[in-house]
Amino acid sequence: MSEVMISYKELEKKLDEINAKMKELRKKRKELVERVRKLREERRALIERKKKEVERIRALREERRVKVEEVRGLREERRKTREELKKTLEEIRKLKSTVMNSKTIRSLDAIKKRIQYLEWKQQTSVLTREEEEELIRQIARLEELLEKALEVEQARKRLLELRAELAKLRILLNDYDQMIRKKSSEISEIDERIKNVQEVIEELNNKIDSLTPKIQELSDEISKIDEELARLEEEKQKTAEELKRLNELMKNSKGLRLLEELRKRAQEKMARGEPLTFEEFKALMGEGIEEDLGDIG
């Protein structure tokens, strides 16, 4: 009987220890779950921020692409302008040569007046055949000279136009150079901003990557606690069942002890010649033991 009581007390102590351990584990699990929740929330916030930065870098790259296209277009226009300027300079050079080589040609008015005079002389004067032929030759030479003079005059006018055009082209080239420098500077600024955003994204990635193993580690710890709680719950059930069994055993042992005392008392009364009660009689005869055990327990 004493051994049963000792085992019962030990099991009660063990059950208390299991309950205390389970309470401690549940508390720890709750704390871990809260930590995981906060870490996941932090990681979620970092991921959202990263999404915004990725969208920002996408917009910057699109802005850069547009500006690069603008610079490409400006450079093409500048190339065409340079070609046009080159052609203009070549034409100016040729025209200047024409004008410079024709400085000895008299003015248009002087040539025209001379032709008019010779034609008038041819029509109004009595000339020999030789004189008339000479006059015709002079007029022909002057008309040829007039044609050259007209060409030189046209060259001078064209030269003035080309010089004005040249000035415009140089101004336009300068404008293209300034616009290209400005756009290139803007592209460099965008590149710097892209670099900064990339650094932010890299930093966010590092933070996200550092949180993931922490979350996994805590989740693994929670899983281990769940396994331990399941094991303790099973052990608790077994311990409770064993306690119940010992409790029943102690109840039955108590009933047997009382029945034995009742039988002994009946024997003593019989020895003294005293009358027995019905219960004492049954105990003495050993009848209804199972029923009595149930009643006594």
Set out the domains of the chain in order of their start, with CATH numbers: 2-272 (1.10.287)
Reported as a single tens digit per residue, the pLDDT across 273-288 is 888 776 667 666 754 4
Cα radius of gyration (the chain): 62
- How far does Cα 25 stand from its chain's mean position? 40
- Which pLDDT tens digits describe the chain residue by residue (297 residues)? 456 567 778 888 888 999 999 999 999 999 999 999 999 999 999 999 999 999 999 999 999 999 999 999 999 999 999 999 999 999 888 888 777 766 545 576 777 788 888 888 778 877 778 887 887 888 888 777 777 777 777 878 888 898 999 999 999 999 999 999 999 999 999 999 999 999 999 999 999 999 999 999 999 999 999 999 999 999 999 988 887 877 776 666 655 566 566 677 778 878 888 887 766 676 667 544 344 434 433
What angle (nearest 5°) sits at the alpha carbon of residue 140, between those of residues 136 and 142? 115
Reported as a single tens digit per residue, the pLDDT across 221-249 is 999 999 999 999 999 999 888 878 777 76
Q: CA distances (Å), 101 to each of 152, 155, 159, 244, in order?
A: 9, 12, 14, 134
Using an 8 Å Cβ cutoff, are 197 and 57 in contact?
yes
Full-model pTM: 0.59
Question: What amino acid occupies position 252?
Answer: N
